Structure formats: structure tokens, C-alpha cells
Structure 1
Amino acid sequence: MILADQKKIDEYTAKGYWGTKTLYDLFLENVRNKPTALAAVDPLNREAICSGAPQRFTYGQLQGKVEKLSAFLLKNGIRKDDIIGIQLPNTVEMLLTYLAILRIGAIATPFPVQYRKHEYRTLLNFTEAKAVITMTHILKHDTAKDFVDVKQEVSSLHTIFAWGDNLPEDAVSLDDLDMSHEDVQLANEICASNKNTANDIFTICWTSGTEGTPKGVPRTQNEWIISAYASVDAGAFTEDEVLLNTFPMVNMAGIAGMFVPWLLKNCTLIMHHPFDLPTFLKQIATERATYTLAPPALLNTMLNNEDILKSTDFSSMRAIGSGSTPLSPWMVKGWNEKFGISIINYFGSNEGATFISDPRDIPDAEQRANYFPRLGVRGLEWTTRIAHYFESKIVDTETGKTITKTGMPGEMRIKGASVFPGYWRQEDLNHEIFDEDGFFCTGDLFEIIEKDGEAKFYRFVGRTKEIIIRGGVNISPGEVEYLLQSHPKVADVSIVGLPDKLMGEKACACVVLKNADETLTIEEIIQYFKAHDYAIYKIPEYIHFLEELPRNPVGKIMKFHLKQLVMDSAEERQEA
């Protein structure tokens, strides 16, 4: 399925930004180049996450698994452009699934492992997904059974495929696939006849918005490749790289930061997630990882913990990518001084924003922690190739004029080869999110910073949107408010994010009760969310009671004022 207009394809192809090789072409090249090299490794603690012992595959072994899985999916009716829901932890099955979908030419819509029935039925219906690929259980959650339970509510959904023991009825097992020669031959013929291109949509990922329902972000293979160049160039990846992936492979960090760079560089990918610190540290040492991703809070904690620093072998590690919240200059400098490890600062989004600070372009640790190169601006040269593959500008949110002066915050807008074509099936919204010049309005506030006489840096200031980012996961206040508004004790509610040293932000429910004599506890809210099958991470950690919510003259809740009220009245909050 191609969503980009031909004019855009022709322009970016002529400029050399977009190529003709698909991601599956890259995989086949890797198989031919290094068939016996180690390609993928399961988490050491796999048995605590899902069924089966940890697995290790060479590129040749991985190809055999992928071809068998794709043949099985084709035998069960999956075809090019079919949309497949995926809920898998970071195990080798996630790689097998992505590669099989790429071979068939289907479209993957990956769900975070925290999603539950509410998200399943909403998003599967919205995309008209034909099938789901999952595990029988992920951690303590009976994943396959829940998908089977909602199947009758999704008219497009034909098949639930699952790996693992205790397969529920009406699900199809992916263990021990027994494919005949005829099945494999037919699959080869179907795949050969497919006209898969690098401009076909590969994924529809999900991003939370202030409107409530998550928005689908379709991205092509070429768009993912462009975004992946940022990690490849900033980390100076080679074919000897051992990438340790700690982020879920459902959005920008996991796909553009790990999966696609793995394909581009023909290296080794070690899987990890949900995060477990002892397993993470052991994987660094035993697998000789050279690069990983970690949130700022974790890097701060480890650097402050002498027991961790003394007991872990970091000698193989060259660089660590981090982001989602501001980095500490002390932390960036400390990892380099103690271990020679470069901390790379990332700012990205599913829609295609990709800003990155690495030691080559910004060698000073303090500057790298706080600033990003002004990528996509003519006249400024940077080492990463993506600097020339898109354009960026900052716009005054009141006047709509482009800001060229330093120290004046404005909305970041981007346009180019990494930027998505628009949200899935939301034409009205898509007319609003792109300006008259075709730039995507990110909703993120940046300012231009001058150093050494040159206005060559950007600094992230905040968000015009109300998204709460908890441990790198986006939470939509609107979605949480929508559910809590239906609680029988709640008259009015608003959700705000509060600063948190470990998680970045935590959610607080600001509640006006219908009856002042009643009470509402965090435990009641938790049970209410569970009863409505909402993902657990969306449950507010705090509750703050008010007689009324602060509103402006036109009735809009003043979120900033409300947030300040809550922060000033910590003793009035209940904490989960």
C-alpha cells in the first residue's frame, strides 16, 4: 500500500533520499553476506516473560524460520496489504514476525505489551485488521485469550495466531510449523509475484494525543530507513556492532533505533524488554554489547551506584542512546570519564522528527545534554546524513511567522524524507497538522541557541500538547479523562503530569466529586480502570481533590494553573 503521492516519490528518489531496496531485500543481503554470523538473541530471562527457553539464531537460521512463518501465514489467508495486529515482547518472535510481514507485503500494527481489551477492540476495528500475532501469555497476562475474547467484536478479524503453551480455543498455534513442499513452493510464488516496494507502508504505529483515542501513524520502509540513518551515523555503527535493544519494538526508538539499523549494518541484535536491571547488566557483559538505549533516570541511577559500577563489565560498550526527558550534563560527562562511553542525546517521534546530538557534532558534554544540532537548516553542516534529508523551522504559535532569532520559543515544524504522510484515516485532522508549506506541526516547542557566535543549536523547551510522558511512554490525558468522567462519584476531572525524578512524569487525577461527603480512593480508580480493560500504565498515580477546576472565561481548563495548584498542595494528594 502506497500512500505517498508520486510527485513526492519521484522527487526524493531523484535526490537519492529514497531508494528501491526494501527492508526484506536488506535482510536477504545480510543472509548472503554472513549466513553463519549471529543475527539475533533472546532475552536471558525469556522464561519469566513468555513460553520457551532463550533462543539464538544465525542469519541463515533466521531466514529459514522467516520463510516457514510467512508460508504459514499465506496458507492461512494473509496477503499483501492485509493489516496484522502484533502484541509481542522483545523476543526473536518479534523479528520473525516483522520479517515475515515484510516478505508478504502485509502491514504491521504493533501494540505495546501494556495494551488490553479496550485498546484491542478500538484499534483493531479502526484499522480493520485481518489477523493478530501474539503469545499465549506475556508476563502474567493471558494475551491470546483476550484477543480471542474481543474477536467477535471486530468484524474484520479472521485469525488469532499465537506462540506458546495452553493455546486457547479459536487461536492458531505458531509452534512447530509443519509445512509441505507444496506450501513452501506456493508461498515462494506468491511472494515473487508481489510488487513490494520501499515506498509501501510497513507499519501503523500508535501515538497518544490530547483528543483521547490513539492516532495511527503509517510509515513506509523508506521513511524508516531515513530515520534509522540517525542512529547508524551518530553511533558510527559497523557490521561488528552488538546492539542491545531495551525499548519496545513498537515505535520510533525500537524500530528506527534498533530494528532497521540492524538490517542496515548486518550486525547482531540482542533483545530485552520489559526492562529488568540484573538481566540488562548481565547481557551487556556476556553478550559483549557495544551499544544500547537507556532512559536518563536509569543512567543517572547506575552512575550513582558504586556497586553496579564495580560489578558490571562495561568494557565492550562504546555508546548509549538516551532521551525522552532532558539529560544531565553531569551524567553525560560521567559515563565518558569513567568508562569512555559516549552518551548520545535523541529527540524523535513516530511522525518522523529526528534530532540527535552525538560527540562528533557536539563534543562538549554539557552542550550535548541540552542542545541538538539545527538539522534541516540550509547553511549548517553536520556529520549525520539526515541533516540534508529534511527541513526544520520554528514558528511563532501566535503569529505563524518563522522565528530566526535566538531565545524565542516556537513550535518545531518539519518536512522531508523521514516525515509520515498523515494520520491513518483522519483526513480532517491531516488538513490541520500540515501548514500551507507542507511542514508537519509537531506540537513541540524549541528555541534557537547561539554558541561561539553561531546560531547553530536547537533546545527543547516543552510541548504545546498535553501529552504526559511516563518512563518514555506517552499517556493521553483526554483518554484517561474520558473514562474517569464516567465514574459515578466524579463530577469533573482533569489529568495533569507531575515531575518525577525516575519516570520523568507521573499522572495526577484532579477530581471534583459529585457529593462532597463521599470519598474516592486510588484503589477504587485502579479497579475502575481494570474493569474497563484499560492498559495499567494509563492509571493515574495520584489523586487531588478540588471544589472546582480552574477555567478561563470561555470554559477551557487552565492546565498550567491546575498543575501548579497540585504541586503547591502536595499534602492534599493521594498516592498510589
Structure 2
Amino acid sequence: MVERLRGDWPALEHVLVIGEPSWDEFITTPWEDVRDPAVLPALRPDPNDVTLLIFTSGTTGEPKGVMHTHNTMVAANDPLPERLGTTPDSVFHMASTLAHLTGFLYGARLNVQNGATCVLQDVWDPVEFVDLVERHGITCTSAATPFLHDILRVPDLAERDLSSLTRFCCMGAPIPSAVVRQARERLPGLAVLGGWGQTEEGLVTLGIPGDPEDKIVETDGHPWPNMEVRVVDREGEVVPPRTEGALQVRGPFLFVGYAERLELTRELMVPADDGRGDWFDTGDLAHLDEDGYLRITGRTKDVIIRGGENVPVAYVENVLYEHPAVEAVAVVAVPDPRLQERACACVVLKPGASGFEFAEMQAHLAEKGVAKQYWPERLEVLDELPRTPSGKIQKFQLRAQVVDGPAG
């Protein structure tokens, strides 16, 4: 691949491949003797140089190349030990690809930055994960919600020793309240903490161990130190607590731009005149409570407008997750000539579930007190939902699949 691209990279001089002679030669060369030590400081990278080009996961459409610097990456991990209570004796675990920001930050950098150990799991398997916890004393892992689903379904979980595992940080997707409660029942020593962030700014919010149940179940955590979060209306004015609006963030973790997409970068940055940096428009809808805890309510691109009324997608999904037959769910919009859009619920059933009919879904929503105008008007039972390698549901693909396929 490198040879194919070499013509587009005129500055490329060396290619190092670990395990091959190129790497062995590089690592054994006494560079302080080969080069004049006086010139080495000038070659040291600047902390504000771009060190990472990583692409967004593509949950809403075309992936974009996000640029981070040494400073933004170090800053993103700095507050984590204090928030989670980790030490150099902690043993981290990572099953996400290191080409995803979660894997890169918490699998490749966090342990090095804190002198701790990290166990990398090449291919996700929940039974193997439980084995690894027992073998290595894993204390903390970070992953998307489906990974937690899988762990809770390990057949002999109650007989296994997972006492060392005290932190599970759920990032990248909302945590259904039913899943949090199941985790508390089956793994009482484990704190499940919801977090929110994007490739553009790493982790922005995370739950605090010891939070009351309503904060853990109903929010996506509290902002990290030095990261600012605000929710604004269509005119850009900050809205009162518990009022939905557009989510904007700023702070030291924020990326420095999209590669070769300067105009898009400028379009999403909201100028501020207080000298503390511009705000980044995340594309998410959210509200903040009176204590500053964040709750993601949807994506601006995921909003379903039915007859002029917004359907609260994340709320409806959470309620459907509570049905005992439902393993995974995503609510997406399908076009409608009269109402503009209608909601379609796409569900995957738990193993052994006998079925899930449209009338059964309606009865469940009615029992939970969901307003009738928010009920999905179509139900699709699927074998699986399209996901990114890190476990996020790709709703743009799901919408296309539902629109192009027959109604189920």
C-alpha cells in the first residue's frame, strides 16, 4: 500500500515495518552517534504538530479525516485517572480497533501515559474477555454498549471471578437503562459509566463513580475538567436546563480541523468573543440538567419530523430496549408524502425470543406511557443492524435498507 501511495508523498524517506529488518535496523542504530546531538533538538516535533489523522466512523454518512495534535491527545487522557480512580497498578482492556479513537486513546496511549498495563483483545469474544479478566486482573475497559450486552449474556457469568473489574465505560452509543440495571444485578462490583464524545474531541463527558442511579441511567455523564459544553437554540442562544437544543463544545481536546476540508471545518466552528476559543457544533441534540450532566437526545440528522412534530428518537429507542424480547433497536425515518416522515423501528431479537409483532410493540409503548404521536408506524425485525467496527449503528445505511426494502 505504501509503495502504491509513495508517488503522492514526495517527502517520504523511510518505511519501518515492525518485525522486519527495516525496524530492527532503526531500533538498534545509535542515532546520537550517527547524528550531531546539537541538531537533534531542532528535529523534535512541536506539541502542536498534527500527530494523528483518524477518520470519523461514518454513522451518519461520509467519513471525514480528523486531525489531532500531541497536545489534544495528551489533554484528552489527563483527567481520566482522577475521574476513574485508576493508578499505575490498574490493568486496562481494549477490544476496539486501535484505528478508532476509543482504541487509540484508551488502548494505545492511556496505559503508556500512566505507566499502567493494557490487555489488547484482537478479536472480540465475550467468553474470552471473561477469561482475560480472571487471568490478568483487568480493572477497567472501554467499549460501545453492544460489548456490555455480550458480557451479560455469558452463560456461566455468575460462576466466574470478575471481582477485579470495577469500571466499564460505555462510549459511542446510549446505554439503555435496562442494560445498566442488568449489569448491577449480575456484576454488583462493576460501575457502568456512560460517556459521550466524538472523533473530533475525544471523550467530553463521563459518569462519576458513586453517582446516584438517576445520573447513571438518565444522563451521558458530566463534562471533563476544562471541557465546556453548552446547548443552544436555532438563534445560537443558550437554553435553560432540560431544554433540548444543539450541542456545542470547546476545550483542549478539540481537534484542529478536517484534512483538506477547511470550509467544512469553518462551517462547524461558532465564533466566540470571550477569548477562550470558538465552539464546535457537534451535530448532536441534547439537554443539560441543573447539575451540568449531559443527555444526548439524538442527532440533528437523525431527527424525525412527523407532521411538523419532532419524534424524540433516543427516548423511543430506550423504551423499546426495555422489552424482554429486544436485543438491539434503532428508530429511523422513512419518507411520507403527507407527513414528511414517519418513524420505523428496526429491532434485533434476543436469542430464543419467539417473535415481536407490531401490535406487541404498540402495547409495550402504551404500557410505558409513550405519547401515541411518538410511536413508530412501521416495524422491521432484522437479523442484525449495520454497525461500524467499533459497534456504532450506521443509521444512514439502515435508512437506505428500510426505504429500499419491502415493509416488514
TM bucket normalised to smaller = 0.5 to 0.7
Distance 1:306 1:256, change over 3 A: same
- The answer to whether residue 112 in structure 2 is matched with residue 263 in structure 1 is yes
Alpha-carbon distance, 1:147 to partner: 4.4
Pair 1:272-2:121 in alignment: yes
The whole-number CA distance in structure 1 between the counterparts of 2:170 and 2:100 is: 15
Task: Say whether residues 1:391 and 2:256 are aligned partners.
Answer: no
1:369 to 2:217 alignment: yes
Q: Answer whether contact 2:195 2:207 (CA < 8 A) is retained.
A: yes
Tell whether 2:1 aligns with 1:151. Answer: no
Shift of 1:285: 1.3
Structure 1: unaligned runs, 5 residues or longer: 1-145, 165-171, 376-385, 468-495, 504-534, 545-558, 572-576
Contact 1:373 1:458 in 2 (8 A): yes
SS in 2 for 1:462: strand
Equivalent of 1:333 in 172, 177, 181: 181
Residue among 228, 235, 239 paired with 2:77: 228
TM (normalized to structure 2)?
0.66
Matches within 5 A, 1:109-148: 146-148=1-3
| Contact preservation (8 Å) 2:171, 2:196 | yes
1:419-568 counterparts in 2 under 5 A?
A: 419-437=254-272, 438-449=278-289, 454=290, 456-465=292-301, 499=346, 501=348
Code of the residue aligned with 1:252 in structure 2: it is L
Alignment correspondent of 2:161: 313
SS in 2 for 1:162: coil
Contact 1:234 1:344 in 2 (8 A): no
> Is the Cα contact below 8 Å between 1:394 and 1:411 reproduced in 2?
yes
Q: TM-score with structure 1 length normalisation?
A: 0.48
- Structure 2 stretches lacking a partner, 5+ long: 273-277, 304-342, 351-388
Q: Residues of 2 paired with 1:542 and 1:442: CA distance?
A: 17
Check whether the contact 1:446–1:462 (CA below 8 A) recurs between aligned residues: yes
Which amino acid in structure 1 is aligned with residue 96 of structure 2? F
Find the partner of 1:237 among 80, 86, 108.
86
Shift of 1:433: 0.9
Aligned to 2:333: none
- Secondary structure of 1:414's aligned partner: strand
Aligned length: 320
Structure 2 CA distance for partners of 1:211 and 1:300, relative to 1, 3 Å? closer
Q: Displacement of 1:286 after TM fit?
A: 1.0
Please state how far the C-alpha of 1:225 moved relative to its aligned partner.
2.2
| Partner residue, 1:162 | 17
Deviation string, structure 1 residues 314-352 (Cα, Å, up to 9, x no partner): 122111111222213333233334431111111111211
CA offset digits 1:205-252 (Å, max 9, x no partner)? 111569965322221222122221343233211111011111222343
What are the within-5 Å matches in structure 2 for residues 174-189 of structure 1?
Answer: 174=22, 176-177=24-25, 183=31, 185-186=33-34, 189=37
- CA distance in structure 2 between the aligned counterparts of 1:202 and 1:543, rounded to whole angstroms: 31
Tell whether the 8 Å contact from 1:204 to 1:216 is kept in structure 2 after alignment.
yes
8 A contact 2:65–2:258 mirrored in 1: yes
The verdict on how the C-alpha distance between 1:181 and 1:147 changes in structure 2, with shifts beyond 3 A counting, is closer
- Quote the offset at 1:359 in angstroms: 2.2
Aligned-pair CA distance for 1:374 = 5.0
Aligned counterpart in structure 2 of residue 282 of structure 1, from 103, 124, 131: 131
Does the 8 A contact of 1:292 with 1:319 survive in 2?
Answer: yes
Q: Report which stretch shifted further, 275-284 or 182-191.
A: 182-191
Corresponding position: 1:402 with 2:238: yes
2:171 aligns to what?
323
Distance 1:255 1:233, change over 3 A: farther
Q: Distance in 1 between matches of 2:279 and 2:344?
A: 28
Query: Taking structure 1 as reference, are residues 410 and 221 closer, same or farther at Cα in structure 2, changes over 3 Å only?
Result: same
Q: CA deviation at 1:543?
A: 9.3
Q: Structure 1 residues 272, 367: closer, same or farther in 2, change over 3 A? A: same
The letter for the 1-side match of 2:254 is V
**Which amino acid counterpart does residue 245 of structure 1 have in structure 2?**
M
2:25 and 2:344 map into 1 onto residues whose CA distance is: 47
Distance 2:397 2:228 in 1: 42
Q: Check whether the contact 1:243–1:258 (CA below 8 A) recurs between aligned residues.
A: yes
Instruction: Give secondary structure in 1 for the equivalent of 2:258.
Output: coil
Q: Please give the alpha-carbon distance, in whole angstroms, between the structure 1 residues aligned to 2:180 and 2:36.
A: 49
